[in-house]
Amino acid sequence: MFAKGWKKGVFAIWLLLWPLLLVIHLYPIRIAAVRLGLLLVVFLIWLGMLLLCWNRKSVRWAWFIISFIFVICCLWPKRTYNPQILREEYINSLLTYKGVPYVWGGENKRGIDCSGLMRCGLIDAEVKRGIATLNPSLVRAGFSLWWNDCSARAMKEEFQGRTRLLFTAASINQIDDAKIKPGDIAVTSNGVHVLAYVGNQTWIEADPNEIVGDQVIEVKTPARNAWFNMPVHVMRWRELE
């Protein structure tokens, strides 16, 4: 009787974890506590599933095997990939955020800021390509970038070796497009804002500017936008080299 009541309690808690997972996932601001909470809820859902199926030997072993295969895939040695294809995936990912509202600290399609846009675009691209090509090293790279938040200033300072300085320029408007590739990013010299080049003299940014509606926009050069008329550091993600 006690065992049956215990199982019902676990099942009730397990069910409640799913809407909690959804709420955390949709919450746009991803501070460290939110990331940790998301991982904790995922672990509790996994643990709850294990406890609920413990008396069913075949289901229990199937769950163990699935979990083991997942861990092995995550730890699989690094494989090579095509940086150009990843670069194209990155551009496509960035463009899917067009029109998303600007939210300081935001990192999803309910709200995003300038550095969050740069990171989320690459995270999406790495995870998609990693799954599509069965390359867990790309998935690991995406998870690492998701876990280790970084600001525009940190990108300018070659955060964890993930970015590399190409050159500095008096402004984005004065950059020779022949010197950059789609996917390269420009960080203002004061480290306040970052934008990404998507090709054809066009940049994408999460702009905290009421004039453009506080959202992710594309801007073609030359532009009057203030961000396009200040000194910048032009950087490149090392994964795209």
The CATH number covering residue 127 comes to: 3.90.1720.10
- Token pair, residue 73, equals 């895939």
Residues 151 and 178 in one domain: yes
Residues 71 and 113 in one domain: no
pLDDT value for 212: 58
Which residues form the domain of 214? Answer: 83-240
Rounded to 5 degrees, what angle do the CA atoms 76, 79, 85 make? 130
Residues 131 and 52 in one domain: no
Residues 56 and 92 in one domain: no
Domain count, the chain: 2
Residues 67 and 90 in one domain: no
Question: If pLDDT is split at 50, 70 and 90, which confidence band does 2 have?
Answer: very low
Query: What amino acid is encoded at 23 in this protein?
Result: V
Q: Is the pLDDT of residue 65 over 90?
A: no
Give CA 138 to chain center in angstroms: 12
Residues 66 and 149 in one domain: no
DSSP helix/strand/coil, 212: coil
Q: Report helix, strand and coil shares of the chain as percent, to nearest 5.
A: 55, 20, 30
How far apart, in whole angstroms, are the C-alpha atoms of residue 18 and residue 38?
Answer: 11
Query: What amino acid is encoded at 125 in this protein?
Result: A
Residues 60 and 91 in one domain: no
> pLDDT tens digits, residue range 116-155?
999 999 999 999 999 999 899 999 999 999 999 999 999 9
Residues 57 and 136 in one domain: no
Answer with the one of 75, 103, 128 that is the final residue of a domain.
75
